[in-house]
Amino acid sequence: MLVHALPSAADPLSMFEGASQGRGELTLGLGHATPYTVDNLGRRDADGTLHLHQVVHMAGEPERTRDWVIHPAGSGAYTFTLSDASGPGVATVDGARLSLRYAPHHGMRMRQVLELSPDGTTLSNTGRISLLGFPIGHLDETIVRTGAE
């Protein structure tokens, strides 16, 4: 088992190095909140690139996997690809806050803000989904390290 240091408040992305799990709810349209869990396993390259593999368990649906590759672009900026998105995304880190913007599907936009807790053990993930500029959904998730590798 690898032991990882607690994430630095200056780098909320470090929370995704090693194993972690997210638990949350996704609400689309006027529907009810659908619970989900996400099992994460990440590693960082020497150049700072983060590779994150996720297994998504959405209530009532078959599990699915997706992969992120997040590249540093200088001064707290990042670019990334996500295997189930329609194109590349951008991210910024400002202290303990990580902001993500990408298109899950053509015409849709996702904006997420992940905030690292002061003790560095939890990420709070809030996402807003829009279609052609109109809000259509949101997610709220809590991410913690699991220690499993």
Q: What is the pLDDT of residue 1?
A: 34
Which pLDDT tens digit goes with each residue over 109-121? 999 999 999 988 9
Q: Considering only CA atoms, which of 24, 56, 25, 52 is closest in space to residue 39?
A: 56
In CATH, what number does 12-145 get? 2.40.128.20
For residues 149 and 132, give the distance between their C-alpha atoms in angstroms, rounded to a whole number.
40
Average pLDDT over residues 98-116: 96
3-state SS assignment for residue 13: helix
Average pLDDT over residues 103-107: 91
Rounded average pLDDT over 99-104? 97
Question: pLDDT band at 82, cuts 50/70/90?
Answer: very high
Q: How far is CA 93 from CA 38, 85, 110, 140, in A?
A: 22, 21, 17, 19
For the cut 60, the answer to whether the pLDDT of residue 139 exceeds it is yes
pTM: 0.90
Q: How far apart are CA 122 and CA 12, in angstroms?
A: 10
pLDDT one-digit tens code per residue, 12-52: 999 999 999 999 999 999 889 999 999 999 999 999 999 99
pLDDT at 103 over 80: yes
Alpha carbon of residue 129 to chain centroid: 14
